[in-house]
Amino acid sequence: MIRTHRHSRRRVLGGLLASTALGPNLLVAQTQTPSETPFSFDGLKREMKARAAVPHAPPAPLDTALSALSYDDYRNIYFRPDAALWAQTDTRFRLEAFHPGWLFQEPVGIYEIVQGMARPLTFRTGDFEYRNQVGEKLPDQTSLPGVAGVKINTPFNAPGKYDELITFLGVSYFRALGSGNSYGLSARGLALNTWQSGPEEFPRFSAFWVQRPATGDSTIEVYAALESASVTGAYHFVITPGADTVIEVEAALYFRTSVAHLGLTPLTSMFYFAEHSERRFDDFRPQVHDSDLLRMVHSSGDVLVRPLNNPPRVSNSFFADEGIMEFGLIQRDRSYEAYQDAGAQYHNRPSVMIDRLGDWGAGKIRLVEIPADLEIDDNIVLLWTPDVAPQAGENRTYRYRMHWGALPAEDSGALAYVQSTRTGVGGASGVPVENRNLRKFVIDFEGGVLGGLDPEAAVFPVVTASAGEISNAVLHKIDDADHRWRLFFDVDGQEADLIELMAHVADEDRKLSEVWLFQWMRSNIKK
C-alpha cells in the first residue's frame, strides 16, 4: 500500500496507479484553452454511470522528463504558498497542488466551481519551487499536464497560519487532520480485493472539482471522479475543520464488472509494536504505531475495543455489524512519554471514527493485520464489506461521516475505557514457569462510573476465551492512579492455534467498562 505523505517511510506495492481518464463531457485536457462548463453532482453521477458502460482505457503516461523523477527529485519540489488558489482572498481555505512525477505517472484534473460553473485549473512550473536540478530541465512557466493531487489548508491551529487540513494524493488515498494532529493513518475512496486471492485493484480519483468557498464559510466541498477496471464512482466530500474534523461522504458507485470483495470506508494504518506486543524488535521506544485499537460502538451502549497486533502471519478478523453504529481506528495513548519519539510524534497521530448513514444492508467490519518488520510498512487495513457482492451493471450509493482528531477516550461517558494492555510470561512473578504456553494479560480500565467507585465496591471481572484455560483473574483499584482499575489473568494456550479473548468489568446490574477483545495466535505461544 502507498501512503500519501512521507513516502520515505512507506513501502509501495507495484501497479497502484491504473486508471481511466474521463470523457470530454466533464474534462478538458490541460493543454486546451480553459473554458467554463456547467457542473452538478447529479451531472457527475450521470457521466460516471455512462463511463461504467465502456471499457477501461488508461490515460497517456507522463513525458520522459517528469516520469523519470526519482524519490529524491520529487521530495525537493515544493508548491509556493503565494501561488495557492484563493491566496489573495479573505476565505478560510487555500488550495495547493502536488507536482506530477515519481510514483504519480497519471495526471489528475483539478477544477474550481463558481456559481455552478466549473473551470479547469492549469498549474505551471512557476507555481513550484525546485530545490534540485529538475527545474533546469523544465522550461520556465510551462503548463503542467495536470497534477498528482491536491492539498487544502486552513488556519485551524493558530490564527492566520494556514496548516494542512486534508490531502488527496495517490490513487484514491486521502488524509485529514484535526487541530493539533500530525499525519498518521490514511483513508481511501474504495478498496477492491484487499488481501484476497488474486491481485488487489486500486481505483483512482482521476479528477477533482472544488467549490470556491465564500467569505465566512466554515466548510469546503470537494467532488471527485473515481475510475478503475471494475468500477466508476462519483464522490462528494463536505469537510468541516476543527479539533474533530468532520467529513461527510457520499459515494455513488457504478460497476463495470462483478466485484467479489468490495471494501467501503477503507482505513490504512501502521502498527509495529506496543506495550502488549510480545517484543520481537530491539528498539529504545516503548511503542511505535499510528493506531493501536479498533473501536466499535454498539446501539446497546456497549463499546468494544480490540488492541491491534503485528502478527506472525496475515490475520483476517470479521465482526458482524448488526447494531454497530460507529467503528474506526484509534490512537489512544496521547502522551509523548508513551512513545519517546520527538521526530515521528506518534502521540499526535489522529484517530478516525466512521458513522454509516442510511441503510447499507447486511455486512461485516473486516480487520486485516499483516506482519511488518519495519515501521515503514502500513500493515493494518480496516474496511466494511457487504454480504451481497455487487454485480456487473449494478449501481450502489453509500453515505457516511468520518471524524478525524484526537477523539479523547474520556469523552466516552459512563464506561471506563481501556487505557492500556500489557502481556508477559504467566504465573507468579519471580517463580520459574514450567508451562511455556502460559501467558499473563494485564488490562487497565480508567474513568467512567467505575473510576469513581471505592476500592471495596462490589465489582467483578468477566473474562472468556474461545479455547485454552483462564486462571488467576484478579481485579483491583490501583492506589497510586486516580480512577484506574487493573485486571490480571493468566491464559493457558494448550494446543489451540488461535485464541479469542474477551474481558470487561461489571457489577450486578450492568457493564462498567468497554469490552476488551484480543486475538492471540498459536505461533505467539511459546513451545
Domain finish residue from 407, 425, 459 = 407
CA neighbor of 121 nearest in space, from 151, 147, 88, 154: 147
pLDDT score for 433: 79
The answer to the question of residue 271 being in a domain is yes
CA neighbor of 225 nearest in space, from 375, 386, 22: 22
The DSSP result for 330-356, as a single string, is E-----GGGT--TTT-GGGPPEEEEEE
Beta bridge partners, 465, equal 501
Domain with residue 214: its CATH number is 2.70.98.10
**pLDDT band at 522, cuts 50/70/90?**
low
pLDDT score for 7: 36
pLDDT score for 292: 97
Residue 508: domain span: 411-524
DSSP state of 413: -
Q: Longest C-alpha distance within the chain, in Å? A: 80
CA dist., res. 180 & res. 406, Å (int): 8
Residue 29 phi, psi dihedral angles, 5° rounding: -55, 145
Domain with residue 463: its CATH number is 2.60.40.10
Domain finish residue from 367, 383, 407 = 407
114-129 tens-digit pLDDT? 999 999 999 999 999 9
**pLDDT band at 134, cuts 50/70/90?**
confident
CA dist., res. 341 & res. 9, Å (int): 15
How far is residue 275 from each of residues 196, 289, 437, 462, measured CA to CA in Å? Answer: 30, 11, 19, 22
Residue 378 and residue 415 in one domain? no
38-47 tens-digit pLDDT? 999 999 999 9
**At residue 5, does pLDDT exceed 60?**
no
**At residue 31, does pLDDT exceed 80?**
no
pTM: 0.91
CA dist., res. 234 & res. 236, Å (int): 7
Asked if 498 contacts 409 with a C-beta cutoff of 8 angstroms, the reply is no
153-174 tens-digit pLDDT? 999 899 989 999 999 999 999 9
**pLDDT band at 58, cuts 50/70/90?**
confident
Residue 518 and residue 403 in one domain? no
Residue 438 and residue 518 in one domain? yes
- Look at the chain and report how many structural domains it folds into: 2
Three cell numbers written together for 392: 456487473
Residue 118 and residue 183 in one domain? yes
Grouping H, G, I as helix, E, B as strand and the rest as coil, residue 452 is coil
CA neighbor of 307 nearest in space, from 464, 181, 422, 426: 422
In the chain, the percentage of residues whose pLDDT exceeds 90 is 76
Residue 326 and residue 288 in one domain? yes
Grouping H, G, I as helix, E, B as strand and the rest as coil, residue 372 is coil
CA dist., res. 151 & res. 37, Å (int): 23
CA dist., res. 479 & res. 114, Å (int): 61
The DSSP result for 68-87, as a single string, is T--HHHHHTEEE-GGGSBTT
The answer to the question of residue 1 being in a domain is no
**At residue 18, does pLDDT exceed 50?**
no
Grouping H, G, I as helix, E, B as strand and the rest as coil, residue 9 is helix
DSSP state of 411: G
Residue 355 and residue 468 in one domain? no
Asked if 49 contacts 87 with a C-beta cutoff of 8 angstroms, the reply is no
How far is residue 111 from each of residues 6, 58, 94, 150, 190, measured CA to CA in Å? Answer: 26, 21, 14, 11, 22
**At residue 391, does pLDDT exceed 80?**
yes
The answer to the question of residue 12 being in a domain is yes
How far is residue 43 from each of residues 40, 48, 117, measured CA to CA in Å? Answer: 5, 9, 12
The answer to the question of residue 2 being in a domain is no
Residue 323 and residue 460 in one domain? no
Domain finish residue from 369, 388, 407 = 407
Residue 400 and residue 423 in one domain? no
Sign of CA dihedral 271, 273, 275, 277: positive
**At residue 23, does pLDDT exceed 50?**
no
Residue 126 and residue 239 in one domain? yes
The answer to the question of residue 320 being in a domain is yes
Residue 448 and residue 479 in one domain? yes
351-379 tens-digit pLDDT? 999 999 999 999 999 999 999 999 999 99
Asked if 441 contacts 501 with a C-beta cutoff of 8 angstroms, the reply is yes
CA dist., res. 421 & res. 28, Å (int): 54
**At residue 482, does pLDDT exceed 50?**
yes
Asked if 316 contacts 327 with a C-beta cutoff of 8 angstroms, the reply is no
C-alpha dihedral (381, 151, 149, 34), degrees to nearest 10: 150
Q: Looking at per-residue confidence, does 239 or 25 come out higher?
A: 239
pLDDT score for 28: 34
Residue 100 and residue 123 in one domain? yes
**At residue 4, does pLDDT exceed 80?**
no
219-223, 244-248, 437-441, 473-477: which range is least confident on average? 437-441
The answer to the question of residue 452 being in a domain is yes
**At residue 335, does pLDDT exceed 90?**
yes
The answer to the question of residue 447 being in a domain is yes
**pLDDT band at 527, cuts 50/70/90?**
very low
Average pLDDT over the chain reads 89
Q: Which residue matches cell numbers 477496471?
A: 229
The DSSP result for 243-271, as a single string, is SEEEEEEEEEEEESS--SSEEEEEEEE-E
Residues 199-211: what's their mean pLDDT? 96
251-261 tens-digit pLDDT? 999 999 999 99
Residue 34 and residue 172 in one domain? yes
β-pairing, 380-386 with 351-357? unpaired
Asked if 204 contacts 169 with a C-beta cutoff of 8 angstroms, the reply is no
